[in-house]
Structure 1
């Protein structure tokens, strides 16, 4: 291959990188969606209305470990870190290495840990970082498109890892995730956030003190 042919072949890649840099985190999010649409779920990050409403019930003063599944480019990460106590920790878990690499490069907070892995392994991941239980777990994973058996496994593992008094916070575009949650969480609060693209369901599955 001649130098001219190599240059022509590299040109689309250069254009792609230029567009990606100009879009910033939106470019990374778009690329992640294009590579793994089944795991990302939406082409547009959550609105600030969804973020604020989803996080409002959290008892931040008593939150030592907050876990997030599928953080993407950190749409929730920074609001969580803004609210988290100084001695708290945020662990995010994603199967997409593109997102994990981006988060590690852009979030320097010592309370923040980005893990390339599966949410179904949350118990092992939490223990590996010195914790027995999580106070809250947040998920925007598209449960309706996950491979068979993965959604129920994640819901079960999440219930086990959350401390009594904690909660599983879920935002989705379809109601399927709620059926998985209901197998384990006796009390689930529901809401709908219309100012989001698209509008999304919000659920808070509480692990009450009297639960096993």
Structure 2
């Protein structure tokens, strides 16, 4: 953009452009939070402690498809891609176009697919990309503030799309998500990360394999 074009831009847009350049992904994340705090849930991305603990139980050698709801600016995306098999795929789904555009512009990995849409449609999205199921699904969506009926719909669709032996990984600031998970997942492991802003609850809902009691 030339100096003359910049001068013709509205002041608010110029300030937004400058803030994005100064803050990088944090600026984009904050802008997305301001536009839609109900769907983002937190003003600060997850800490590396949360990422390491959340992804710890994943059996990466068995993972062909990993799905993430609400990827934001890719806080989990890059660590997932670092661990994912060369023939694997990471599909991320977000209702915020700002985040999807940012991810498509900054992540060039051929295993990465960013979808502007709803997590409730995960089954259709997975099938559209050549898979019958997902091995793991990760969610940071704020279940406690989602519109009525959306949380249960996402939890139900997620259970259906995960293969037996796979898991639904959830990080939250309230216990509401566990209530939705418990509708379908008999085994739910729990943990807590204090070194996160705010401190974070972690849940792993494991889908039974055939023959499990």
- Class of the TM-score when normalised by the shorter of the 2 chains: over 0.9
State the match for 1:162 in structure 2: 162
State the match for 1:17 in structure 2: 17
Q: State the distance in 2 between where 1:85 and 1:64 align.
A: 7
1:137 to partner: Cα distance:
0.0
Where does 1:76-155 land on structure 2 (aligned, <5 Å)?
A: 76-155=76-155
Deviations 1:76-113 (A, max 9, x none): 00000000000000000000000000000000000000
Where does 1:44-63 land on structure 2 (aligned, <5 Å)?
A: 44-63=44-63
Question: TM-score by structure 2 length?
Answer: 0.94
Structure 1, unpaired ranges of 5+: 1-6
1:15 to partner: Cα distance:
1.6
1:8 to partner: Cα distance:
8.4
Secondary structure at the aligned position of 1:67 is classed as: strand
1:11 to partner: Cα distance:
2.0
State the match for 1:206 in structure 2: 206
Aligned residues: 206
Structure 2, unpaired ranges of 5+: 1-6
State the match for 1:43 in structure 2: 43
Secondary structure at the aligned position of 2:10 is classed as: helix
State the match for 1:176 in structure 2: 176
1:13 to partner: Cα distance:
1.8
Deviations 1:150-177 (A, max 9, x none): 0000000000000000000000000000
Secondary structure at the aligned position of 2:124 is classed as: helix
Q: CA RMSD in A?
A: 1.3
Q: State the distance in 1 between where 2:116 and 2:34 align.
A: 19
